[in-house]
Amino acid sequence: MCELFGMSANRPHNAGPWMRRFRERGGKAADNSDGWGLAYLEHGVFRLHKAPTAGAYSAEFGALCGTVDSPLILGHVRHARHPRINSFDNTHPFIRLCCGREWVFAHNGLVPAIMEGPDMRLHGTCRPQGETDSEYAFCYLLEYIAAHFGPGIVHGGSRWFEDVASAAAVIAAHGKFNFLMSDGDYLIAYGHDRLHHLETRTGSEKVALVATEPLDEADAWTPFAPAELRIYRGGEAVGSSITAVQCQAATAISGAAATTPDGHS
């Protein structure tokens, strides 16, 4: 059911060995053959490559595994479920402008009920271009961020990631919701029920990796606690929060999203 890969480092880093193993899970080592995508930071701007084809057999994906040097990477291989339509717009990661920043997002799981719930309406900050519940959930998170933090999210104090975790838990209450998201500075990882992390340090180089499944047996990958959100910056964990999945928070958050001012997207 789709898989995720993320990396945060304190300097441009080539994650080729891990990325090649991840690529294999796009239709060869695992049944995620309905699309692949890779977003990485280059000179402060996200570059996005994706296609609605099997990543394991994509020459483009294979080439990127050897050439990408970046401090931030988000990858996704897709097993189409909702909807079962392979298209460019339905392929992760998704990218949007919000609060003066560029955000990327990729999701593993199923939360189709959020597209129908009366307390989960979108209010204009972000509109899906495709048909997936994943992109809808991304837009919902961006509306929450715009309503609560605006351009000052990095100055929002130490609790801002706990608030984002609460919004993620509301969505997770509608199904399964594991995701990676970044604004070009932070790597935000939420493990509802299936995500692992690995932090390494070699000399002055710091690298943090996140993946749905451990990408090798040699390294000590650690599973996320259920409903755990972890924040990385420059290859280090800078915050974490474990939030109970509670449906009753939906109305309050949706109400805040409804007051989102124009001009944030």
Distance CA 136, CA 96 (A): 12
Residue 36 confidence (pLDDT) above 60 = yes
Q: Dihedral angle at the C-alpha atoms of 81, 105, 136, 164, nearest 10 degrees?
A: 120
Closest by CA to 174, choosing from 105, 104, 241, 107, is 107
Distance CA 216, CA 221 (A): 8
How much is the average pLDDT of 129-137?
92
The ranges assigned to domains in the chain are 3-258
Query: Which CA distances in Å does 193 have to 61, 142, 155, 171, 245?
Result: 27, 22, 30, 13, 11
How much is the average pLDDT of 137-147?
86
pTM of the entire predicted model: 0.88
pLDDT value, residue 186: 94
Report the share of the chain in percent with pLDDT over 70.
85
SS3 62: helix
pLDDT value, residue 121: 67
pLDDT band at 101 (very low <50, low <70, confident <90, very high): confident
Higher pLDDT, 235 or 157: 235
Q: pLDDT digit string (tens) for 37-88?
A: 999 999 999 999 999 999 999 999 999 999 999 999 999 999 998 778 899 9
Closest by CA to 42, choosing from 184, 209, 231, is 184
Q: pLDDT digit string (tens) for 162-206?
A: 778 888 888 898 899 999 999 999 999 999 999 999 999 999 999
Residue 250 confidence (pLDDT) above 60 = no
Query: What architecture is the 3-258 domain classified under in CATH?
Result: 4-Layer Sandwich (3.60)
What is the DSSP-derived secondary structure letter of residue 82? S
Residues 6+ apart with CB under 8 A from 134: 92, 94, 105, 106, 107, 111, 179
Q: pLDDT digit string (tens) for 46-60?
A: 999 999 999 999 999
pLDDT value, residue 261: 26
Average pLDDT, the chain: 85
Residue 30 confidence (pLDDT) above 60 = yes
Report which secondary-structure segment, H or E, holds 45: strand 45-51
**Whether 37 contacts 49, CB under 8 Å:** yes
**Whether 9 contacts 41, CB under 8 Å:** no
What is the DSSP-derived secondary structure letter of residue 247? G
Cα 1 off chain centre by = 15
How much is the average pLDDT of 128-145?
90
**151 forms bridges with which residues in the sheet?**
none
Residue listed under structure tokens 């090649």: 20
**Whether 250 contacts 117, CB under 8 Å:** yes
**Whether 125 contacts 259, CB under 8 Å:** no
**96 forms bridges with which residues in the sheet?**
103
